[in-house]
Amino acid sequence: MMGWRLALLLLHVLLCLVNGVSSGRTSSYVRTEYPSTDIPLESEWFAAPNGYNAPQQVHITQGDYNGKAVIVSWVTVAEPGPSEVFYGKNEHQYDQRAEGTVKNYTFYDYKSGYIHHCLVDGLEYNTKYYYKIGSGDSSREFWFETPPAIDPDASYTFGIIGDLGQTFNSLSTLQHYEKSQGQTVLFVGDLSYADRYQHNDGIRWDSWGRLVEHSTAYQPWIWSAGNHEIEYRPDLGETSTFKPYLHRYQTPYLASKSSSPMWYAVRRASAHIIVLSSYSPFVKYTPQWTWLKNELKHVDREKTPWLIVLMHAPMYNSNEAHYMEGESIRAAFEKWFVKYKVDLVFAGHVHAYERSYRISNINYNITSGNRYPMADKSAPVYITVGDGGNQEGLASRFSDPQPDYSAFREASYGHSILQLKNRTHAIYQWNRNDDGKNVPADNVVFHNQYWASNTRRRRLKKNHFRLGRIEDLISIF
Ligand SMILES: *[C@@H]1O[C@H](CO)[C@@H](O)[C@H](O)[C@H]1NC(C)=O
Ligand SMILES: *[C@@H]1O[C@H](CO)[C@@H](O)[C@H](O)[C@H]1NC(C)=O
Ligand SMILES: *[C@@H]1O[C@H](CO)[C@@H](O)[C@H](O)[C@H]1NC(C)=O
Ligand SMILES: [Fe+2]
């Protein structure tokens, strides 16, 4: 009897604590920004490399399911030139060679350069590789590091960037990111914003490729597409969708048995990353729906405990910009995210930062009227990082009052860093640009959604409990 009362009292105290932390915060941080205009084309930040037909816009992405391959991509402008990559473990000594493909495209009156894609596979884990592309005096050399082998306790650090564009704010985001320990970027859509120009001027795709090369040539960016990649222009005779994006940015979709480069999955270190397309069919019975249903069944949380989803339009967003645009994809997929205990869902689209509590709205019923998001410990945390700094500027009007599901929100430019420490812990932070000091503006310890529910994990939690970690409290209820 006594035990029961004590338990009730304890529960009450804990609930108060939870209530205390569960009122969300809207940051009042205000700072002046660079203007939201694109960097001029003649700027040094867009300078093409020296040398005849030198490879430019170099970028790499993961090339297989498990992280032992990369796809190296680049553009040559004068002539196709070779599509081969020379690589090896020692600088300037390239004992291996891979052969790729070259293609080009037109978009209305724009003619692209020669776009090369080359799969480099059979790599060893945890290894630094040097690579060389191009020929003769114009060849260029870069390097990348492969991830550790798939392992539940493999530590790995991801950066998360969205809606980047090519303004000085974009550049600032990139430069801040490059100062971090990020090893791979999870990109949540809207790359160049070339579609803002007359006839979707592809020259702005090329300038963007040169702007980001400083990062993309040396570490993989895991791509997902946003609305600015659609480029559906029937008025210009351009009736396909995602044409420039699909020519320029490859994804290893076949390795995850996807039928489209727009949605796919990769596993890297201790993470299973699922990339979805907000602007491709996703309702019941469509290819994306069928693929996701199957992929989720095959996620192995014993080997890759961190289940992360990327999509462009956020499902939970309390900004006036793009408000409720994610409702249709939420209706299609949210129940699966809860069922499979997805850890984190990253989105962009809204040009601001926002993090949710673990909530779900899967009991929505059009007949009974149930329609409120509820605290749900099986639900993911939803994070919007559409604050890369593109020419459309910040989305600074949040709905007032802040809804219960919103934990923290701020309209500033920035990027996130997710450090997967081991199977149970990840340290997450959002960094706004130009703080002038190294203090992340949002900082959370995430406990893994799969390993948090087994007994060993519970014991760990007890020990941490005295520290009064917010996530501990929330993950109990
Ligand atoms: C691609 O390049 C070739 C060779 O320069 C050229 O003949 C062809 O017209 C180009 N195709 C497109 C679609 O631009
Ligand atoms: C939706 O609500 C109606 C009316 O309350 C109820 O009869 C029905 O079973 C509910 N459907 C689901 C799937 O919960
Ligand atoms: C997992 O990482 C966290 C954070 O670095 C650390 O506190 C914890 O002890 C680690 N757990 C194990 C089992 O190593
Ligand atoms: Fe967008």
| Spatial CB neighbours of 323, under 8 Å, sequence gap ≥ 6 | 317, 399
The mean pLDDT value for 245-273 works out to 98
Tell me the per-residue pLDDT of 11-68, one tens digit each, with 9 for 90 and over.
433 433 333 345 789 988 876 678 899 999 999 999 999 999 999 999 999 999 999 9
Q: How far is the CA of 317 from the centre of ligand 2 (A)?
A: 27
Is the Cβ atom of 367 under 6 angstroms away from ligand 2?
A: yes
Q: How far is the CA of 180 from the centre of ligand 3 (A)?
A: 21
The mean pLDDT value for 157-164 works out to 98
Q: How far is the CA of 104 from the centre of ligand 1 (A)?
A: 6
Give, using CA atoms, the residue closest to atom 12 of ligand 2. 365
pLDDT at position 9 is 39
Is the Cβ atom of 365 under 6 angstroms away from ligand 2?
A: yes
First vs last C-alpha separation in the chain? 23
HSE, CB side, 13 Å, CA atoms: give it for residue 23: 5
Report the residue among 76, 77, 104, 112 best suited for mutation to probe ligand 1: largest number of ligand atoms under 8 A from its CB: 104
- Choice among 59, 322, 349, 447 that is catalytic: 322
The pLDDT of residue 477 is above 80? no
pLDDT at position 454 is 56
pLDDT at position 438 is 65
Name which residue leads in pLDDT, 371 or 18: 371
Give, using CA atoms, the residue closest to atom 2 of ligand 2. 368
pLDDT at position 189 is 98
| Spatial CB neighbours of 4, under 8 Å, sequence gap ≥ 6 | none
Q: How far is the CA of 5 from the centre of ligand 4 (A)?
A: 52
Other C-beta atoms closer than 10 Å to the C-beta of 366 total: 7
Is the Cβ atom of 32 under 6 angstroms away from ligand 2?
A: no
Asked if 298 is an active-site residue, the reply is no
Is the Cβ atom of 366 under 6 angstroms away from ligand 2?
A: no
> pLDDT-derived band of residue 453, with 50, 70 and 90 as boundaries?
low
pLDDT at position 22 is 53
Task: Please give, one letter per residue, the 3-state secondary structure of 85-138.
Answer: EEEECECCECCEEEECEEECCEECCEECCEEEEEEECCCCCCCEEEEEECCHHH
Considering only CA atoms, which of 353, 318, 315, 306 is closest in space to residue 335?
Answer: 315
* CATH architecture of residue range(s) 151-189+262-476: 4-Layer Sandwich (3.60)
Tokens of 208: 């963007």
Pocket residues: Cβ below 6 A from ligand 1: 104-106, 111
Residue 330 dihedral angles phi and psi, to the nearest 5°: -60, -45
Is the Cβ atom of 377 under 6 angstroms away from ligand 3?
A: no
How far is residue 292's CA from residue 276's CA, in Å, rounded to a whole number?
8
% of the chain exceeding 70 in pLDDT: 89
Tell me the per-residue pLDDT of 75-134, one tens digit each, with 9 for 90 and over.
999 999 999 999 999 999 999 999 999 999 999 999 999 999 999 999 999 999 999 999
pLDDT at position 452 is 82
For the chain, domain boundaries: 151-189+262-476
Give, using CA atoms, the residue closest to atom 4 of ligand 3. 425
Closest ligand 3 atom to residue 422 Cα is 1
